[in-house]
Structure 1
Amino acid sequence: MEGEQIELSVHTFHSAIPLLRVNPLFHKSRDLLQLPKVECTHGSRKILLTCVLDMNLRQGEFALSESAAKALRLTEYTWRMPAQILPQGVRFGPLIGILSNPLWDREKRTLKQTKQLPALKRLVEAGRTHGAVCFLFRMSDVNLRSGTVRGYVLHEGRWHRRDLPMPDVIYDQLVSRKLERDPNVQEKRQALTKRYKEKFFNDGFFDKWQIYEWLKESVDVKAHLPRTVRHTTMEKAIAFLNTHSVSFLKPLHGSLGLGIARFVRQRDGSVIYEQKQKTSSVLRGKASSSERALETFRTRLKQRPYIWQEGLPLATYEHRPLDIRILMQRDHTGEWKRTKMFARVAKSGDFTSNLTAGGDAMPVDDAIAQCLPKQEQKNRAKSQIRRLSQQIVDAVEKQSGKQFGELGIDLGLDTSGKVWVIEVNSKPRKTPTTEKGRQDLVDLSFERPIRYAIYLATSTSK
């Protein structure tokens, strides 16, 4: 049995001996006083202390000798913190490390404002609300030899840089694929993955071919996958274009719809193509044949890996493409739950529905009501969406051999009401506020991964 979660005020004092002082009226004090030595842990740090009475302390206050606090890497931001009284001693925390890319401003002595920082701040605040200490860190901040990490903590509304023990759990929120490919990052990631196992969750990115290979192994999911092949030669690419009236070319490692190209074959054999170059820029052109169309992409196809995907007769909303985004997350019991679900409608003239490119969000029921004329089709679509979202997370975890705390799933809907898998993302984008959606679900999307991290930290031994 785990100990009761409490909040302690921690003080320090000078002492030549490593000591823990407790108030005799605190109901757990006598349990600690009966121990020859009290085991105190903070993340990966663990020390043994002699426990003594201190009548000057209030209930819920502990005092540590400065040498003990230093050994545990407790700093001023943790002077009031969650803790558990265990049979063998005291565990401060849990300590949750959020892997990201915080940038330190040397002049201002705080973190620089980045696009991701508001979301990361919300995660740290959710940790405090639910009884954990969360901090941000970069992979370069990890010192595997000393078992410490340079972390960025939020204290009284300001970010501070502190040396901390390795955390109890790591939540991967590194959204830079460029950093992900850095050899130094990869080496440390492998070491942390081996050490933490399931306690390092959402570890790394997916690539689109990898996801396809995993999902096709599931009998339930396979029927909802559009035909997909990996790009190998120009000859095979031409054959794919000539087989399908609509084809998509997608970079293996991509996000936000960038780099995706759509090819539409006309009756006379000519091909209209368009490629998403930036969030607000689309390259368009027409070629007399599939061969000529692919000449435009020859250099790109040599520079990075791609997949080819069959274009489907997807339903549209006011002649604009749409898809359905589902955020699946584990909760505080470790069970998968659907946190958010909404339809994304592409802006006029675009062929991808990403909100960052100007797409609109709307309730799924409203989108389905507009797209599908028959009630039978509407019912079929809703049933498939509910069932398929759970089948996808099960298939990804089974085939990858990894455990995840959240997955973003993009589904398409064809004109008959059948649901198709478009993409699965291990780093679903979350924003702290919403203009059109429900703020309570936005808040929940930040709380669930942190509460899942707490569940991992406290439910099983490391």
Structure 2
Amino acid sequence: MEVTRALKLSVFAHGVSMIRLHPQLCARLSVGEGERAECTFGRLSAQAPVWADPALPADTVAVSTPLADRLLLRDVAARVRVWPSGRKFHIGPTVGVLSNPRWIEKQKRYAPSPLALALERLADAADRIGALAYVFRMRDVDWEGQRVHAFVRTTRGAWTRMWLPLPDVVYDQVVSRRLEQDANYQRDRARLARLYQDKMFNAGFFDKWQVYEWLAQDVRLRRHIPSTIRYQQADRAARFLAKHSVVFAKPAHGSLGLGIVRFVRQPDGTWICEVKRKQKPPWRVQADHALAAIQQLRPRLEARPYILQQGIDLARTGDRPFDIRIVLQRDGTGAWRRTKMFARIAGPGEFTSNLSSGGQALPVPVLLSTVFPASAVRSRCMRQIRRVARLVAEAMERGAGQTFGELGIDIGIDTTGKAWVIEVNSKPWKSPSTGKGRPELVEMAFRRPMEYAVYLATRQ
């Protein structure tokens, strides 16, 4: 997407706030000389008189230094455009990326991390489509001044800090669940959401129980959703285990598969309980019956909200389970597009397929060809995967009552080729680099959120 109908912006030195336009542009916009016009940059606005200047290019809006300074515009004027509408000039588009990177003040740079690299990719993608993206933390917001102490990527590839207006659109990329659970942060994010409404997207993480309720409201999806309950009482949980041979207990607010418990009923009626741990083999205990299995893990299950979910008899490759990760993103027209789809195979001895814990990524057709030799089964499976992903996006937005810019959808495939919705993620991780993958898909994963942000910023 290119920003093509906007005008160029320049700043000139003068002691008074004013706007200069070529006479032809004045006529085209029906702006008389001496009339006052409004300039907005992000959430800041100011008025100034318009004067005709035949020496100015016809595709340029020139603002004086006092006006540029009132709008916090001077240092980034060369990187934004002007969108005219009569006697109103909106400068931008600006995209605020709400995030939580660690800034090293003495070195004036981000601490090296995958998140820092991802933020670089987002800022560069915005620059290439004619938008200005800047990163800010919630504590960087000056609510009264309608501005943020933002991190801006310079044209030389470094980061610098400057005061800029609250942007046109906010793209939430906070990836810390600990920060998300902070009461002050939650209060400020709710304030930001009220201010931006539909011009803020992908705010917060999903609650797995709420996701289940949203999806279950769609009759077309119910047959693709594993039976699920909230953990509330040990007796009820034990009865749920008794109905299924495999049950997963998942933290309602967890990620990366950490804290997941797998309950597996053995042929003799006993249960094996395994707890997913970070960079360690699963912790295992044994229980004589379902209630005893729950009791073994009761302190964990009651320490924070959990859901219990029916285990699906997933298809396997080399005795390792796998699922399909689909990344759906909206593009510059607001339409959903499938950016990525790949299979994730669980690491040896693991029961989750997260790549962060040793999982392996493969192209979906390659994996399915080894699991389902019959081409008819593979074709039916692929059609079902695509259809279910589309229905999930529709159901999530309908249930949440808001529009998302991207979703990560994990779909399991059982031994018959049927698709099951395993999980939905509001902040699918976008790797800033690729090993065996296609570089153009990596680029697209960062470009599309910026295109969608520009769409939100510029639509009437």
Q: How high is the TM-score relative to the length of structure 1? A: 0.94
Rate the CA distance shift 1:155–1:77 in 2: closer, same or farther, 3 A: farther
- Verify the 8 A CA contact 1:40 1:91 in the aligned structure 2: yes
Q: Secondary structure at the match of 1:73?
A: coil
- Verify the 8 A CA contact 1:82 1:133 in the aligned structure 2: no
Distance (Å, rounded) in 1 between the aligned partners of 2:348 and 2:4: 55
Q: Which runs of 5+ in 2 are unaligned?
A: none
Q: Secondary structure at the match of 1:282?
A: strand
- Verify the 8 A CA contact 1:28 1:85 in the aligned structure 2: no
Q: Secondary structure at the match of 1:5?
A: coil
- 1:214 maps to 214
For these two proteins, the number of residue pairs brought into alignment is: 455
Deviation at 1:281, TM superposition (A): 3.8
Distance (Å, rounded) in 2 between the aligned partners of 1:426 and 1:50: 45
One-letter code of the match for 2:454?
A: I
Distance (Å, rounded) in 1 between the aligned partners of 2:266 and 2:4: 68
Deviation at 1:287, TM superposition (A): 2.8
Q: Are residue 185 (structure 1) and residue 185 (structure 2) matched?
A: yes
Distance (Å, rounded) in 2 between the aligned partners of 1:29 and 1:79: 22
Distance (Å, rounded) in 2 between the aligned partners of 1:296 and 1:124: 48
Deviation at 1:9, TM superposition (A): 4.9
Deviation at 1:389, TM superposition (A): 0.8
Q: Secondary structure at the match of 2:256?
A: coil
Q: Secondary structure at the match of 1:41?
A: strand
Distance (Å, rounded) in 2 between the aligned partners of 1:279 and 1:244: 29
Q: Which deviates more from structure 2 when the two are superposed, residues 49-58 or residues 390-399?
A: 49-58
- 1:34 maps to 32
Q: Which runs of 5+ in 1 are unaligned?
A: none
Provide Cα deviations, 1:334-366, integer angstroms capped at 9, x if missing partner. 111111111111111111111111111111111
Q: Are residue 122 (structure 1) and residue 121 (structure 2) matched?
A: yes
- 1:71 maps to 70
Distance (Å, rounded) in 2 between the aligned partners of 1:140 and 1:160: 17
Rate the CA distance shift 1:30–1:281 in 2: closer, same or farther, 3 A: farther
One-letter code of the match for 1:73?
A: L
Distance (Å, rounded) in 2 between the aligned partners of 1:75 and 1:183: 36
Q: Are residue 152 (structure 1) and residue 183 (structure 2) matched?
A: no
Superposed, 1:18-33 pairs within 5 Å as 18-22=17-21, 28=25, 30-31=27-28
One-letter code of the match for 2:382?
A: K
- Verify the 8 A CA contact 1:7 1:81 in the aligned structure 2: no
- 2:399 maps to 399
- 1:389 maps to 389
- Verify the 8 A CA contact 2:148 2:164 in the aligned structure 1: yes
- Verify the 8 A CA contact 2:79 2:131 in the aligned structure 1: no
One-letter code of the match for 2:303?
A: Q
Q: Which deviates more from structure 2 when the two are superposed, residues 275-284 or residues 50-59?
A: 50-59
One-letter code of the match for 1:69?
A: A
Q: Secondary structure at the match of 1:420?
A: strand
Identity %, equivalent residues: 44
- 1:347 maps to 347
Distance (Å, rounded) in 2 between the aligned partners of 1:279 and 1:329: 31
Provide Cα deviations, 1:103-126, integer angstroms capped at 9, x if missing partner. 332211233333311111111111
- Verify the 8 A CA contact 1:110 1:159 in the aligned structure 2: yes
- Verify the 8 A CA contact 1:13 1:63 in the aligned structure 2: no
Distance (Å, rounded) in 2 between the aligned partners of 1:41 and 1:31: 20
One-letter code of the match for 1:34?
A: G
- 1:84 maps to 83
- 1:109 maps to 108
Provide Cα deviations, 1:282-334, integer angstroms capped at 9, x if missing partner. 21232333333333312112211101111111101111110000011111111
One-letter code of the match for 1:444?
A: M
Provide Cα deviations, 1:64-90, integer angstroms capped at 9, x if missing partner. 322211111114133342332332232
Provide Cα deviations, 1:215-274, integer angstroms capped at 9, x if missing partner. 000011111001101001111122222221111110000111111111111121211121
- Verify the 8 A CA contact 1:148 1:165 in the aligned structure 2: yes
One-letter code of the match for 2:421?
A: V
Q: Are residue 162 (structure 1) and residue 159 (structure 2) matched?
A: no
Provide Cα deviations, 1:118-139, integer angstroms capped at 9, x if missing partner. 1111111111111111111111
Distance (Å, rounded) in 2 between the aligned partners of 1:43 and 1:31: 25
- 1:414 maps to 414
- Verify the 8 A CA contact 2:148 2:163 in the aligned structure 1: yes
Q: Which deviates more from structure 2 when the two are superposed, residues 160-169 or residues 282-291?
A: 282-291
- 1:46 maps to 45
Distance (Å, rounded) in 2 between the aligned partners of 1:111 and 1:360: 29
Q: Are residue 254 (structure 1) and residue 254 (structure 2) matched?
A: yes
Rate the CA distance shift 1:417–1:146 in 2: closer, same or farther, 3 A: same
Q: Which deviates more from structure 2 when the two are superposed, residues 288-297 or residues 261-270?
A: 288-297
Distance (Å, rounded) in 1 between the aligned partners of 2:140 and 2:332: 28
Deviation at 1:168, TM superposition (A): 0.8
One-letter code of the match for 2:147?
A: T
Distance (Å, rounded) in 1 between the aligned partners of 2:28 and 2:46: 18
- 2:204 maps to 204
Q: Secondary structure at the match of 1:28?
A: helix
Q: Are residue 316 (structure 1) and residue 332 (structure 2) matched?
A: no
Deviation at 1:439, TM superposition (A): 1.3
Q: Are residue 325 (structure 1) and residue 316 (structure 2) matched?
A: no
- 1:275 maps to 275
Rate the CA distance shift 1:57–1:103 in 2: closer, same or farther, 3 A: farther
Q: Secondary structure at the match of 1:108?
A: coil
Distance (Å, rounded) in 1 between the aligned partners of 2:77 and 2:304: 46
- 1:435 maps to 435
Q: Secondary structure at the match of 1:196?
A: helix
Q: Secondary structure at the match of 2:174?
A: coil
Rate the CA distance shift 1:434–1:280 in 2: closer, same or farther, 3 A: farther
- 2:237 maps to 237
What's the Cα RMSD here?
A: 1.9
Rate the CA distance shift 1:188–1:120 in 2: closer, same or farther, 3 A: same
Deviation at 1:53, TM superposition (A): 4.3
Distance (Å, rounded) in 2 between the aligned partners of 1:155 and 1:77: 9
- Verify the 8 A CA contact 1:327 1:339 in the aligned structure 2: yes
Q: Secondary structure at the match of 1:456?
A: helix
- Verify the 8 A CA contact 1:77 1:155 in the aligned structure 2: no
Q: Which deviates more from structure 2 when the two are superposed, residues 181-190 or residues 330-339?
A: 181-190
Deviation at 1:31, TM superposition (A): 3.7
Q: How high is the TM-score relative to the length of structure 2? A: 0.94
Q: Which deviates more from structure 2 when the two are superposed, residues 367-376 or residues 394-403?
A: 367-376
Q: Secondary structure at the match of 2:119?
A: helix
Q: Secondary structure at the match of 1:337?
A: strand
Distance (Å, rounded) in 2 between the aligned partners of 1:339 and 1:246: 33
